[in-house]
Amino acid sequence: MSYKESDRASRWRAGDGFDVDNYTWSLTMSALRKQAGFTLVEMIGVMAVIAILASVAAPRIMESIEDAKVSTFVQQVKVLEGAVAKYNANTGLWPTMITTSDPSTNPHHHQLLINASNSAGDDIAGWQGPYVAKEPTNPFGKNSYQALYNTTDTNWTCDVDGDGTADGRFIVYRADNVTDKVAEKISDIFDGDGGSADWKTKGRVKRYQGTSASIIAVCLARI
């Protein structure tokens, strides 16, 4: 390096002119700042991609949750069906009603768990329960209702032979807060008639025909 070049570099470093070191540092920091974050356009692009993925995934997640609830309900029906049959085999009777009422005041509403023929708690001859580990809860809603009925009410009872009329007395398990879509899935599982025009009234699964359209009944036994 010539004297003039060396002298110029010394003066730059000394602050008497252009500072090469500071200039290099400034360029480096400027580049880092540019690389440190996303631009507004990039952020909008990322958010758009996330929104698209969410719109695709959300329905599938909801469908999976719905299917899990249906599976729980179907399993409950199968457990209750076996319990009712065993209860009848032991006692020669059918449960009168199973509800969510207080067992201490209505023990006869819990006959699969409690040996009680009436509200006084009198024994049932031949009872060898409990026939279920616990009474089921409605999987379709936290505060939803479910019950087991011994009934001839045509709003609940089934048209098993498909002739358009209810077929007498049944033990039915009913639950509310059930959408048409879910009810049809359940009907298809038990009756294989999902998609048919009369799935709501024929077979073991019946859509309640009264004022509440959210109730479904499944016939466990014809008696």
- The answer on pLDDT for 34 being more than 60 is no
Question: What is the C-alpha separation between 202 and 217, in angstroms, rounded?
Answer: 11
CB 201, CB 217: distance < 8 Å:
no
Q: Which residue has the higher pLDDT, 124 or 4?
A: 124
Question: What is the C-alpha separation between 5 and 17, in angstroms, rounded?
Answer: 13
**What is the average per-residue pLDDT within 149-157?**
85
Lowest mean pLDDT among 180-184, 194-198, 217-221: 194-198
pLDDT tens-digit readout, 71-100: 999 999 999 999 999 999 999 999 988 887
| 40: amino acid identity, one letter | L
What is the share, in percent, of the chain residues with pLDDT greater than 70? 79
Q: Is residue 73 within a helix (H) or strand (E), and if so which, with residue range?
A: helix 40-91
What is the share, in percent, of the chain residues with pLDDT greater than 90? 23
pLDDT at res. 16? 52
- The answer on pLDDT for 200 being more than 90 is no
pLDDT at res. 75? 93
Where do the domains of the chain lie?
Answer: 3-36, 66-222
pLDDT at res. 201? 83
- The answer on pLDDT for 162 being more than 80 is no
Q: Is 133 left (phi over 0), alpha (psi -120 to 50) or beta?
A: alpha
Q: Which residue has the higher pLDDT, 11 or 50?
A: 50
Question: What is the C-alpha separation between 140 and 42, in angstroms, rounded?
Answer: 42
**What is the average per-residue pLDDT within 98-115?**
86
| Whole-prediction pTM | 0.73
Confidence of residue 26 (pLDDT cuts 50, 70, 90): low
Question: What is the C-alpha separation between 9 and 103, in angstroms, rounded?
Answer: 97
Q: Which two tokens stand for residue 191?
A: 């009756």
